[in-house]
Structure 1
Amino acid sequence: MFKPLIPLLCAALGAAAPHPVQVRGCVPREGLLRAAATRNLPRYRRLVKLAHADGSYRCSLEIDGWSLRDVLASFKPAKSTDDGFDRPLDTFIVVTGRDGRKALFAWSELFLAGDGGPLLAEKARFILPHHHDPLARSAVDPIALQPPAARDALKLESCASCHGQGRLLGLSMPKGLCLVFPQDGFGGRFVEDVAEVEIRQVGIPVVADKAGGKKALVDAPELVGPDGARVRLDRERFQAAASARYRDAAFGEGMGYHGLRVSTGADLGSLLKPLLPAGTDPRSTCVLVTAADGYRSVYSGTEVFDGRGALLADRINGEALGAGSGRYHVVPRGDFYIDRDVRIVKEIRIITAFR
């Protein structure tokens, strides 16, 4: 689907940076992230608590860096293949670290979420508790914001008498450029020493009757598991799922304010979880929701299966849905814009993006 990588002889974020980041996939020109691409971007600071891969506590940091949204926008992303849908709502982003660890984000988690979203952290510092003894200053200060090269040179041996000897947890400063999603909270999506950012299409062409689909009802949409297993969403299955409710002022990118809206129905993750094969990490998946008229959106597995991402509504403001809306309507929680809403739901498909 994507063009071969284009080798570029350029430094990444510094004259001799040891942490180059490759941007590839749905961009007109693949290549390394250069310092020039970030020079005029706004910077953000956040406090974050990070976990090791096994879920145990790693460290608490202040980070400073750029929004991944802004970084990717500088590459002018565009679909590489005409899939019959002219919006990027059905694309997703996979971020990979040099250790092989990956994180997946729906396009809309970057571009429709308002001020939130994942950050590409360049600088980081340990947060020193108030009751900590004073630190002896060294050439690289662990409680001052430091770029990757300085953090690589950080010497923590002087802390070993307390940290890592049974008294306190060992200290571990992440290396390189780090991908952090503060809104996920502790144990959320995190990639250390980012090596690659790839924008992917789902790879499934849209086949739909745009005119007739807008009038369809679709009483029982299909649910499709990552292994291809299909089940019909009958009323019994819908009513057995965990109930959900969401109230918001509906505001779209194109038309603006649509009015106050209370959506009630079932939690989407509760409906889909039985379709996940045993041992599947939900964070390695995304969920593609397709309407009868061909409109569609992608949600990350993290959003859907952590219970806060989306609901499948059968009522809006207390009224049952009908012609023009279908029987079910997927409503994401937390998006600033409502453009990822999908009405007249025909199919909900889980896709495994990586293993």
Structure 2
Amino acid sequence: MKKRLILWCAVLMGALILGATPSLAFTIAGLVRQPLNLTSSDLARMESLNVRVNEVTGDKQFHGVFTYRGVPLRTLLDLASIQKEESAFPKPFDLAVVVKNKEGRTAILSWGEIFHRNGSEVLVAFAAEPEVPRHVKNCGDCHGREVYEPALNQLKRSVGFPKLIVVGDFFTDRNIEDIVSIDVVEMNKRAEKKQMKGPLFSPRFTVTDGKGKAVEVGDLNGYRRSEGMVRQVSEGLGYHGIKQVGGVPLADILEKAGVSPDADSVVLASSIDNYRILLSFGELYLNPDGRRVLVADTIAGKPIKEGKFTLFFPDDLSSDRTAKALNKIEVISLKDRSKIFVIGMGCADANLIALQAISYMGKADVFIAPEDLQKRFAKYMGDKPVLFDPFKGMFRGFRKDGSTPDKAAEESRRLQHEKAGQLVKEALKAGKNVAILEYGDPTIYAPWRGWLDGDLMDRVEIVPGLSAFNAANAMIRQNLMCQGGSLVLTSPKALREDPDLLRAVQTRGDTVAIFMGLHEAESLSRLLLAHYPPSTPLQIVYKAGYSNSSHRVQSTVGELVQTAAKDNELHLAMIYVGPCLK
């Protein structure tokens, strides 16, 4: 009895601490106007609700009974404001919402199961309380310890927040913990909307399994038929009565076509005019209502005149996902190869970062980032691991310094590049997305190109960032192309290797913007004086983009060395030369 009392107290203690478990930050990104970065603390300040969930996964494993407190995912997506890219099909019915946790597990939902159901059906939870059986002290009267203790231990487990809760699923495989990203994605962006004359009609539809196999269905003979009542309530046209429809569950049609449930795939159903409806495998196979999604060929016992086959969702609160003249059913995998995101983080202050950069940080599993970027953007990185700091230790040689190393330094750098590339390859092999956080514009004098092998470049996506060049231009506030019509970006090393370039630029009156020039001001001065009169206007912009320390100095080519010597900064500066700087 004493042991049972101790166990009971331990379970109650677990109830008190579950809601206080430290949580990760997660992002909402993809096809949204306003990417969001939130934590459980942020969710706790929003209007929330409680739901009880009996957690049993598809492998028949019990994971406890909890009352979760959370915010409807629909509310969060409304805050982020879903916005499709330019598309021939502007409606959101073909959108998927991909939720990912820190271990790389994903849960996929369709737009329809979030927005055409009550908001309480899908939550992002920030706290939980276990539902402890009232007669737990008597468990030993019915079962052995080996039976009841594992079940009770599930009530004491630490729950990882934020956690996705899909209330309607019988098996709770989509209730993933420690979520780090919610991404809104679109299928078949290039599909064109067909303008059809007269009533829509398609005599058959094709089912493709995503692996090259296709099955054509011209009638529903040979299937076990099902009947259902459908409420016709459109968001645009309102209530239009109830229909008795007959047909075959979509799940049965997929099964007969050889399609197996796949948590990483979706089903896209299209009408003859490319009206598209997306379904998740979860809503078809984990939610009991999925058996009621019908491909119908009769209404009120009579063949359907418009279309022959119509896809109905009897349990949706709106009938707008009805697809008439069904023409195609496709299985589409959303399991992409892991990628490398090279993200431009802006040149200075954190407020110069682009929204797209925040979105892509949410998609990353691991980071490569300098220490100061890790500190400034810790909120968006969360607790995701950092592979290395490219400006520290063995990667010190990666700085944008433009210097010419000796043979020993070259060999050291080669080994550094090799090791860096190997770390990236190992992360990709483990299925992780790697984000390289770069200062400014990641395509200009970017060190990451030195240690990514050519065979990895097809994995790279570059996210643009605001360069020091852009911020410096804003500080100069002049037309930098007032004479020759060109603006040349370069470095001292490039100018030394191509003196004809500098000669041509000077002749045309173009402006030259020089990166990484201050630490070799004397040699740069000699190079410029070989082509420019000493009185040629020159400006140095220091720490462009740093609101508390940026400044601009007006000078001339002849005074470059003396002007540079007055400031201790040797790296964070842009040098501009040309007659437009008067």
TM-score bucket (shorter structure): 0.7 to 0.9
Q: 1:283: how far off?
A: 2.7
Q: Does 1:318 align with 2:301?
A: yes
Query: 2: distance between equivalents of 1:115 and 1:30?
Result: 20
Q: Which residue of 1 aligns with 2:282?
A: 302
Q: 1:102-157 CA distances to partner (integer Å, 9 max, x unpaired)?
A: 111100111111344211111101111111349xxxxxxxxxxxxxxxxxxxxxxx
- Secondary structure in structure 1 of the residue aligned to 2:168: helix
- TM-score, with normalisation over the residues of structure 2? 0.49
Q: Of Structure 1 and Structure 2, which has the larger fraction of its residues in helix?
A: 2
Q: Which residue of 1 aligns with 2:98?
A: 94
Q: 1:76: how far off?
A: 0.7
Q: Does 1:181 align with 2:166?
A: yes
- Secondary structure in structure 2 of the residue aligned to 1:27: coil
Shifted more, 171-180 versus 49-58: the winner is 49-58
Structure 1 residues 258 and 167: alpha-carbon distance in aligned structure 2, compared to 1, 3 A threshold? closer
2:209 aligned to which of 225, 230, 244 = 225
Query: 1: distance between equivalents of 2:58 and 2:323?
Result: 34
Structure 1 residues 276 and 180: alpha-carbon distance in aligned structure 2, compared to 1, 3 A threshold? farther
Q: Does 1:282 align with 2:262?
A: yes
Structure 1 residues 93 and 163: alpha-carbon distance in aligned structure 2, compared to 1, 3 A threshold? farther
The residue type paired with residue 126 of structure 1 is P
Identity of aligned residues (%): 21
1:123 aligned to which of 117, 124, 127 = 127
Give yes or no for contact 1:91–1:107 (8 Å, CA) kept in 2.
yes
Structure 1 residues 256 and 188: alpha-carbon distance in aligned structure 2, compared to 1, 3 A threshold? farther
1:200 aligned to which of 185, 191, 195 = 185
Query: 1: distance between equivalents of 2:189 and 2:212?
Result: 13
Which ranges of 4 or more aligned residues in structure 1 deviate by more than 4 Å? Answer: 34-41, 162-167
Q: Which residue of 2 aligns with 1:333?
A: 314
Q: 1:266-314 CA distances to partner (integer Å, 9 max, x unpaired)?
A: 111110124446xx54332211111112211111112234552511000
Q: Which residue of 2 aligns with 1:259?
A: 241
- Secondary structure in structure 2 of the residue aligned to 1:302: helix
Q: Of Structure 1 and Structure 2, which has the larger fraction of its residues in strand?
A: 1
Give yes or no for contact 1:37–1:74 (8 Å, CA) kept in 2.
no
Query: 2: distance between equivalents of 1:258 and 1:40?
Result: 40
Query: 2: distance between equivalents of 1:192 and 1:71?
Result: 17
The residue type paired with residue 241 of structure 2 is G
Q: Which residue of 1 aligns with 2:33?
A: 28
Q: Which residue of 1 aligns with 2:112?
A: 108
Q: Does 1:344 align with 2:325?
A: yes
Query: 1: distance between equivalents of 2:41 and 2:178?
Result: 20
Query: 2: distance between equivalents of 1:208 and 1:63?
Result: 42
Query: 2: distance between equivalents of 1:40 and 1:194?
Result: 18
1:71 aligned to which of 71, 76, 84 = 76
Structure 1 residues 129 and 167: alpha-carbon distance in aligned structure 2, compared to 1, 3 A threshold? closer
Query: 2: distance between equivalents of 1:177 and 1:34?
Result: 7
Structure 1 residues 326 and 281: alpha-carbon distance in aligned structure 2, compared to 1, 3 A threshold? closer
- Secondary structure in structure 2 of the residue aligned to 1:92: strand
Give yes or no for contact 2:162–2:178 (8 Å, CA) kept in 1.
yes
The residue type paired with residue 102 of structure 2 is R
Aligned residue pairs total 306
The residue type paired with residue 300 of structure 1 is S
Give yes or no for contact 1:311–1:330 (8 Å, CA) kept in 2.
yes
Shifted more, 173-182 versus 26-35: the winner is 26-35
Q: Which residue of 2 aligns with 1:45?
A: 50
Query: 2: distance between equivalents of 1:66 and 1:19?
Result: 16
Q: 1:40: how far off?
A: 6.6
Q: Which residue of 2 aligns with 1:7?
A: none
Give yes or no for contact 2:72–2:119 (8 Å, CA) kept in 1.
no
- Secondary structure in structure 2 of the residue aligned to 1:123: strand
- TM-score, with normalisation over the residues of structure 1? 0.78
Query: 2: distance between equivalents of 1:32 and 1:252?
Result: 33
Query: 1: distance between equivalents of 2:58 and 2:283?
Result: 19
Shifted more, 333-342 versus 168-177: the winner is 168-177
Give yes or no for contact 1:303–1:309 (8 Å, CA) kept in 2.
no
Q: Which residue of 2 aligns with 1:62?
A: 67
